[in-house]
Structure 1
Amino acid sequence: MDSIDSDADATPTFDPSIVQSLPMVADGSNPEFADRVLDMFTRNATTLLAAIDSAMQQGDAKALQRSAHTLKSSSATVGAMALSEKARDLEMRLRAGELPGTDWPQALRGAYDDFASALTRHRAAAEVAKAT
């Protein structure tokens, strides 16, 4: 299988407007909801990335596809668009019967790390905005 596509490089790493549009945030009834969702995502994403590593090591294509699908969906929900796109690409390749390249877990972790950095910057900017 080819290495992970670089198409996701043009996709935003983090789009905070997506998580901000969640109903509990958008209607103003629970402004902390976005932070809770993002925190839950970061915990779950770490678990999913470990499951992807394990599935790769064990050669378990079904578990790998399932984890990639879950990571794709959950990433999109919180605006981790580049990570979602990379997970989608992995899922689609697995559905097509392709074997994953050894660089996939590292590429997914890199996209997650980029998201985590962007989220940290976003939260810092939000704190500065609150203080002013």
Structure 2
Amino acid sequence: MTDTTTGPLSGSPAFSGFSVDDLDAACAFYEDVLGLATSSEPEMGGVAHLHLAGGRDVLVYAKGADHTPASYTALNFPVPDVDAAVDVLTRRGVEFLQYDQPPTDPTGVMRAGGPLIAWFTDPAGNVFSVIEQR
């Protein structure tokens, strides 16, 4: 059996990342619509950090024409009230995705078991969610 507590990555402060086709448009959406902070890394060219609660950062990088949106939920945002979050984001121009499975209601909220959750995309087509955690 391998001891996983002393491996070469066990103390690494890992972070995640995803690509976008237009870094400026993505950062404007994250800041102006979602209300999140971002910072760019000019020396790295085409790279920004999305600053999340709890001191976590996500790397966002420009991939231009080679960009393919994530085929999974890239970011989940826990919120105390999904309906309130959906309402605010809808007023800010966010369009929530509609799914047959799992079924979503007319506002985009999935209410068929498990926590309430609603999915939307960033300007690059990456899927995000708001998920209720009380």
Larger RCO: 1 or 2 (CA < 8 Å, sep 6+): 1
Superposition TM-score tier, normalisation by shorter sequence: under 0.3
Q: Report the structure, 1 or 2, having the larger helix content.
A: 1
TM-score by length of 2: 0.25
Q: Report the structure, 1 or 2, having the larger strand content.
A: 2
TM-score by length of 1: 0.26
